[in-house]
Amino acid sequence: MIFEVISKLVSESLLSLYPIFVKNIGLPLSLQTWSRCFSYALVSGFFIDYSFVIKTLFTYSGIMLSLVTILHIYTSYRGFELLESGVAYSIFYLYPIIILLMSGHKIQSIMLLSLVGVYLLASKEMNFFDLFDLKKGDSKKSDQILGVAMIGMAAFTEAVIYFLVRDIKTLNNWNHIFISYFLGAILLSWYMLDDIRVMKLNGRLSMSLGINSLIGLVGYLLRFYAVSRLDTMVYAPLSYFGIVMSFIYGVFINGESIDFKQVIGAGLIIFSNLWLL
């Protein structure tokens, strides 16, 4: 189980870079979504079991995985674009709890420490009560409410993807990636053909394709590897490692300061994960 746990931790470390990437790449969300779907489908196509994929792609689970993945990408990107990182992370990291609830597992009280840890890490740049102070004509508040809805949907779809991947029985996790992104790559390439032609392969689009092909693709390959092999009660709590890495990236990449409250938050998340392991 050690290798599976390591793969989950590494995947969370890589994928927690996505919000920084989304905010700073300077591309429309539509092109970011296309570059992710296209690069994932293209690269994974070299490693899949074609007989399995052809048999599975148009089953109920295959179609649902494709559609839910498209919805997940858009809602997560849109949510992280509209909200401060702290609010977005705190809502998005409800998804491990959603996974446990959907699987019928009893929520252990120790997991609540992870939620407290998420709040302490994020609370430096957030105030949830501000979200409900909606004044007429205040477009910023409207964006916040929309952002909460988007990131809430992203958390739910993240949990649904977990169960769909487990339902598609294959130990070649390239198959999972291809099935997840092939439909999105085809539909978005057709829908956005004119935009892609106009952008061509300028610096930002090339960077988006490159980051998705390297960091994102490896991160999701390792995540699906862990989904297929780890018990739900181990997988779900380990997901909180992602917000610890986001905090670390904020310090080293964005030059954010550290306070004692955030150190305690990170410590609570790590402690609760070690306890459940």
Angle at 208 between CA 207 and CA 213, to 5 degrees: 95
In terms of Cα–Cα distance, which of 217, 230, 155, 235 is closest to 180? 217
Percentage, residues of the chain above pLDDT 70? 86
**Worst-scoring range by mean pLDDT, 58-62, 82-86, 145-149, 261-265?**
82-86
Q: What is the pLDDT of residues 85-125, one digit of tens each?
A: 667 777 888 898 899 889 988 777 777 888 888 777 766 55
In this prediction, residues 46-63 reach a mean pLDDT of: 96
When divided into structural domains, the chain yields a total of: 1
* Predicted TM-score (pTM) of this structure: 0.84
Return all residues near 259 (Cβ < 8 A) that are at least 6 apart.
Answer: 124
Distance between CA atoms of residues 197 and 192, nearest Å: 9
Distance between CA atoms of residues 227 and 163, nearest Å: 9
Q: Which domain holds residue 195?
A: 2-276
Are 145 and 131 in contact, with CB atoms under 8 Å apart? yes
Mean pLDDT of the chain: 83
